[in-house]
Structure formats: structure tokens, C-alpha cells
Amino acid sequence: MNIGPYELPNNVFVAPMAGVTDRPYRRLCKSLGAGYAVSEMAASNPQLWASEKTSRRLNHDGENAPVAVQLAGADPRMLAEAARYNVDRGALIIDINMGCPAKKVCNVACGSALLKDVAMVARILDAVVKAVQVPVTLKFRTGWDLSNRNAVEVARLAEASGIAALTLHGRTRACGYVGGAEYETIRAVKQAVRIPVVANGDIDSPEKARFVLTETGADAVMIGRAAQGRPWIFREVTHFLATGAHLPPPLVAEVRSLLLDHLNDHYHFYGDAGARTARKHIIWYTKALVGGRQFCERMNTIDGCADQAQAVDQFFAEIGERSERLVYSPTLH
């Protein structure tokens, strides 16, 4: 699959997730088979560009191309300026967020709240596409609520505006992450436009990825929550799509090494705050493993980076003494 001039290595992508898909996580997912990764949602307000949070979200040092930055906002001129700002700093693709359902985003008319105002959607897309010479993509939802689905209308408008590719999460803003994804709506969008369409929502296994690609006709799939604590899902899915066969579960020794490397990169990226921000990743990796619940309770009491990494190392060393491969608790996995 291509986005503009950029040929991607495969069609299995990692979804941008606020507070999750930072540079260390994106690099990890790409190393494990993700064909494409977009940054966390960054504010378009120029008053926030110099803040530590936004500066870190826009840090792509050492990341494999193409570097893609996702922007959130509700002002066409401000979004256009933010797009130029990021392209000047190395962004090769700009992604516009019209999919985030979070109240704090929608309450300021950003994210999926924009789907209530199609005229504003048009102005934003037109302004950003005209502002930069790189591909601009759009991530959006099927509509505001179940009575107001307008994904096909927005998709056609986006194509006419010069958007290079679409990612559609198969739920409305009102649905949040509840209920099944609307793959029929993704299929309708794919049939309505000629630009690439990426299907997002509830893709949590190789079989589900194949089903969604077949059911929707989409050009690619995007995996979000299912990759939390399981970043090797990208190689599992790409292998299955290519061969029809499953890879064996990862070795304990490999996961131990992956997580420790991830933590080292994370600590280097965040400094002293890294122990706090790494907790969620550690819990995602370990909570469903045998003994994981007790370990997670202890993890929440550890503050220092070195002590945290040592506890993780010891936990996986103990698992490795019992089994060569990961063993999940039957009640949690």
C-alpha cells in the first residue's frame, strides 16, 4: 500500500493512541512488523508547541520513515499552520484527527465532534491540503451517533479535497469503544472512493484481520488496543496474511528482552518521569500471565526506573524457569 509517494512495507498498521504511541512504542511496533505508525495526537494550537508534552509528542529522532504526525484542532487556519510547522521539522505525512471520542477533545469541537459540522470538515481538509506539499490523511469515525452516520459523505468530501488516504474507525463518536465495529460502513466507504482506506476497530487476531480485509475490501488494517502489551501481534498478523499459518507464541526470553529494551528506551525518552509513564505498559504485558495480577499490584508501589526494570527482569526470569513460552492465566486471557 502507498500513501502518496511512500510505499509501506505491509498493510498492518499501529493506531495512534494518546498516551501510548510515543516514539519508543512506535519504534518497537515497527521493529515487530507494523508497516506504518502515526504519532500521538498533537495540538494545533501554537501556544502549546513549546510545551514539554507537545514537544515530546513531536519528537521523531531515529524513527524510520515515513514520519507521520497526527494533528487535532477545530480551526482551519491553525491546523494549516501546524501542518506547515511539522513539515518544516521533518513530517512526511500529516494526519488529521476526526476520530477521537474523548470528552475533553469533543468538548472543544475537536476530534470526532467535527463530524457534526460537515462544512467545517471541508474547510479544515481544504486548508491543510493546500498548506503543505506532503500527503495529508484523515482518521475519522462513522458519524456522531447511530442516527447521524455520515462517513460516506465525509469520505467523498475528503477525496475531493485531495486527502491521500482514509482511516475509518467503525464506530460513531457516541459509541466510544462499546459495541461491535461497523464493518459494513467501512465497506461502503471503500466502495465510494478511489483513495486507500484503512479499517480500524476490534482487530485483535490474525483471523480477525483477514476477516476485516475480506469483509470491507479495505487496503489495510489498523490495530490499537490489541497491541497494548502484545506488540508482536503485528508480525503474527502479517505472517498469517501472507502464509495462512500461525507463528508460535513468543518465547519468555524474547518477551523479557523486548520489554526491558522498551523500558530502557522509554526511560531515556521520559527521564525521571519514565517509571510512572511505563507502568501501564508493564501492566499490559504482564496482567494476563500466570502470577501477573500479584505482580501488577506490586508494580504500582515501585517508583524508580532502575527498581522497576529490576522487578520486571526478576518476574520474567521466574516465568522462564517454569515455561519456555508465555503462559496466560485462563481467567484473564
Question: Concatenated DSSP letters for 79-114?
Answer: HHHHHHHHHHTT-SEEEEEE----HHHHTTT-GGGG
What residue has cell string 491553525?
Answer: 78
pLDDT of residue 333: 52
The CA distance from 331 to 290, in Å, is 10
Give the confidence band of 112 by pLDDT, cuts at 50, 70, 90.
confident
CATH 3.20.20.70 fits 2-243, yes or no: yes
Q: What is the pLDDT of residues 298-321, one digit of tens each?
A: 999 999 999 999 999 999 999 999
Q: What is the pLDDT of residues 48-82, one digit of tens each?
A: 766 777 778 778 888 889 999 999 888 999 999 99
Is 110 designated active site?
A: no
Residue 46: is its pLDDT beyond 90? no
Q: What is the DSSP letter of 46?
A: G
Q: Where are the domains of the chain?
A: 2-243, 252-322
The one catalytic residue in 100, 175, 296, 305 is 100
Phi–psi pair at 200, nearest 5 degrees: -135, 140
Q: Give the three-class secondary structure for 140.
A: strand
Classify burial at 180, counting beta carbons within 10 Å of its beta carbon; exposed 0-12, middle 13-18, buried 19 or more: exposed
Q: Give the three-class secondary structure for 59.
A: coil
**Predicted TM-score (pTM) of this structure:** 0.94
pLDDT of residue 57: 79
The CA distance from 172 to 169, in Å, is 8
Radius of gyration of the chain from its Cα atoms, rounded to whole angstroms: 20
The CA distance from 138 to 299, in Å, is 38
pLDDT of residue 111: 67
Q: What is the pLDDT of residues 12-37, one digit of tens each?
A: 999 999 899 999 999 999 999 999 99
Task: Count CA within 13 A, CB hemisphere, residue 100.
Answer: 26
